[in-house]
Structure 1
Amino acid sequence: MTEDQFKDELQSAGSVATKKSAHFNQAKSRLLEAATEYLLSVGLANWSYRGCSRALGVSSNTLNYYFKSKDFLLAEILESMRRRDLPLLDTFKEVETDQFMELALAFWDVMSDVKQFPLGMAQFELYTLAMRDPDKYSTVMESEQLWIDGIKSILEKANYPEDELASASRLVIWTYRGLYLSLLASDHTQASNDRARSAFKELIRLLVAQFPKTKRA
């Protein structure tokens, strides 16, 4: 075999490997999306590896091939759920301070739509798992910190007192979380939503009232 022939064979083998890798990643991505939707539909308490494979119309061996194990699949599902927050986080980081109230209430209105409740419920189920095994479910708190940092970026632009940035940002996220948990555990009526939304609006109003009149350059 000549050197040129050897190079051609290597290039051909590399092309085949690339195509196989692309096909693998595409199939895995489709399975992960379907597995995430399945978890949101049944909740963590009712989720199982076998039930997931049946819902997806594949065998457990197929899931093992793409995800290695139940724990690895669940970890990828959690990461998939976390990535759903990223577009909203980017919006928070870019918003002007005079739009903070409007954006915060718009966010509440999106999340208080009953269509979003499965995601919200799954997130709170993850919190209960993190309470028992914080190391295994560390992504829960990592995701929370991303939101805290997003709020912090708005307060920084508003020239909020630097020594209060962290605590004020946590106050917004933790209060939102408590109100949202109460909403999810309620009768899901408009009256329940209005009460929770009004409390959240009051928190943001009090925060915005402390914004200095002069913004940072």
Structure 2
Amino acid sequence: MASSKRVAGSEIANRIRQRICLSGGTEGGSVLHEGALAIEFGLSRTPIRQVLQRLAYERLVQVQSGVGTIVATLDPEHRAEHKRVAVALLMASADCGQQVAVPLQARLEISALAGMLENDGDMDEVAIFDMYAQFLDIMAGLAVDTILEDALRASQWRLTRWYMHDFAKDPEEGRRRLLGLLQVARQAAETGDRSGLYTVVARDVRGR
């Protein structure tokens, strides 16, 4: 059914990201039809195409010749490699972020996320996804270089897909993992040390 009102491109991107991350599978390959999405969100194909291009830049989707835009595959055999790449990018961010402070707004946002999960231990998969997405946005936004920021976003979205895949299998453990991440991130952020913040997040990735 067509949407009753037009939806902003950023909101469409968020909805599609959520669908991809909560799909429950790792095989990928699902086709995202521009026409169907245009009807759903009440837009022409042009803004939908722009959204899909953004998601391709984040490596959530890819264009396959003769098929169109498809959801990128997550191969379990490559998970360890995905983790190593994410850690390397986080440590590069830590290196580049030495002597650079964590802005007050970022500290407040990380603290708020940790507090929300501490106060609600029964969050469902949508809420958990939203928290990962917000934390990802904070961490990528703290990168001191735009190229590094883009690479961080792509690697962290790939990790988020893995984390939500794990959450579907064991929600309690998934919530515990996210809470642990947010708590150590809050503690590091409160010191104001951007390099230290990236380092503790990298340590969390290594431990998963």
TM-score class, shorter? 0.3 to 0.5
TM-score (norm: length of structure 2): 0.35
The structure that has the greater radius of gyration is 1
Which protein has greater RCO, CA pairs closer than 8 Å, 6+ apart? 2
